[in-house]
Amino acid sequence: MPSDRLSVVVTRRLPEAVETRLCELFDARLREDDAPMSREELVEAMQQAEVLVPTITDRIDAAMLAQAGDQLKLIANFGAGVDHIDVESARRRGILVSNTPGVVTEDTADMAIALILAVTRRIPEGLALMQSGEWEGWAPTAMLGGRLAGRRLGILGMGRIGQAVARRARAFGMQIHYHNRKRLRPEVEAEFEATYWESLDQMVARMDIISINCPHTPSTFHLMNARRLKLMKPEAVIVNTSRGEVIDENALTRMLRAGEIAGAGLDVFEHGTEINPRLRELKNVVLLPHMGSATVEGRNEMGEKVILNIRTFQDGHRPPDLVVPGML
């Protein structure tokens, strides 16, 4: 390395404790404001830094990596998802990519359950009624929602987060079903009393609630497309705390407006901040601004993992959270 203190560029504001530690350990250049870097700023950072610390808002493609300086050897992503980084192109350039898996599992699972409750029990509608000042008191048939106990929950993606959702859902008395690339071990299935569906179509058609917990990859893009959404029961609900691209948002919007799906809880969206405006008009839809992992504890733990990956790399070893192309 050209110096004892690695040159590290951070693309977004991080928790203060994380930023302080980065400055203590490395020659760190922090972001003054919390706006995403432009494409030109990202290229400039990659031409100067030995280590880049981006976030999910920084799209790093092959053309940008081609302009990176020879000194850039590690992209230590602040976050678990790396679909915004061309990992294969980085590997060909001799640039390692690391991420921060595992630390957002519990927080994201909490949010999935929160969305399920919010949609099925009509919590935002009740909140809006109270804030409007128009509530006239309790009535036997007012604001009726649905009970979670006994409902069938279909989990699409039974990795760490999917299993954490299943564990919480069991406490509510829900029946656990799942579709996954690989079937879980028998003892894990037994823990959740889970039913495995090899056919996603068959599972979707029978569930009361669908929870999306799979990553965004070429094979999962629009996995819940118009055809598959039409398989859902009219009284079913879908929640997504994973990646917006997994659901065809326009098709979902059409079906929600037509009453072909009972409701949706979305923390992520297909086109980032460009949300289909017709979704905002629907009372049976709960929209959140990508809050699934937004806890103080989770963000600090993500920063600790970033620092560990950089320090391990600085010591000449493989970062513990190295992302391997083809294993995403």
Both tokens assigned to 251: 């098709």
Please tell me whether residues 164 and 305 are part of one structural domain.
no
Please tell me whether residues 45 and 158 are part of one structural domain.
no
| In the chain, beta strands by DSSP E | 7-10, 27-29, 51-53, 74-76, 96-98, 152-156, 175-179, 195-196, 209-212, 237-240, 263-266, 285-287
Please tell me whether residues 99 and 201 are part of one structural domain.
no
Q: Is residue 323 part of a domain?
A: no
- Which residues lie closer than 8 Å to 285 by C-beta, 6 or more apart? 119, 256, 263, 264, 265, 266, 279
Q: How far is CA 104 from CA 76, 109, 302, in A?
A: 17, 8, 8
Share of the chain above pLDDT 70, in %: 98
Confidence band for 2, pLDDT divided at 50, 70 and 90: very low
pLDDT in the model for residue 325: 74
Q: Is residue 269 part of a domain?
A: yes
The helix/strand count (H/E) of the chain reads as 13, 12
CB-CB contact of 81 with 56 (8 Å) = yes
285 beta partners:
264
Q: Is residue 328 part of a domain?
A: no
Mean pLDDT of 64-79: 97
Mean pLDDT score of the chain: 95
Mean pLDDT of 66-88: 95
Counted domains in the chain:
2
Confidence band for 36, pLDDT divided at 50, 70 and 90: very high
Mean pLDDT of 270-296: 94
Query: Which pTM was predicted?
Result: 0.89
Please tell me whether residues 118 and 82 are part of one structural domain.
no
Please tell me whether residues 265 and 202 are part of one structural domain.
yes
**Distance (Å, whole) CA 264 – CA 239:** 5
Mean pLDDT of 51-76: 97
CB-CB contact of 193 with 170 (8 Å) = yes
Confidence band for 108, pLDDT divided at 50, 70 and 90: very high
pLDDT in tens, 244-263: 999 999 999 999 999 999 99
Q: Is residue 321 part of a domain?
A: no
Confidence band for 327, pLDDT divided at 50, 70 and 90: low
Please tell me whether residues 150 and 68 are part of one structural domain.
no
pLDDT in tens, 110-164: 999 999 999 999 999 999 999 999 999 999 999 999 999 999 999 999 999 999 9
Please tell me whether residues 283 and 302 are part of one structural domain.
no
Q: Is residue 277 part of a domain?
A: yes
Q: Is residue 2 part of a domain?
A: no
pLDDT in tens, 168-197: 999 999 999 999 999 999 999 999 999 999
pLDDT in the model for residue 216: 86
Range of the domain at 222: 105-287
Share of the chain above pLDDT 90, in %: 94
Give the domain CATH number at 78: 3.40.50.720
pLDDT in the model for residue 110: 98
Please tell me whether residues 245 and 161 are part of one structural domain.
yes
What is the maximum span of the chain, computed from C-alpha positions, in angstroms? 73
Please tell me whether residues 191 and 161 are part of one structural domain.
yes
Confidence band for 1, pLDDT divided at 50, 70 and 90: very low
Please tell me whether residues 44 and 147 are part of one structural domain.
no
Question: How many of the other CB atoms lie within 10 Å of CB of 128?
Answer: 12
Q: Is residue 129 part of a domain?
A: yes
Q: Which amino acid is at 277?
A: P
Please tell me whether residues 124 and 236 are part of one structural domain.
yes
Please tell me whether residues 119 and 256 are part of one structural domain.
yes
Confidence band for 326, pLDDT divided at 50, 70 and 90: low
Both tokens assigned to 295: 């806890």
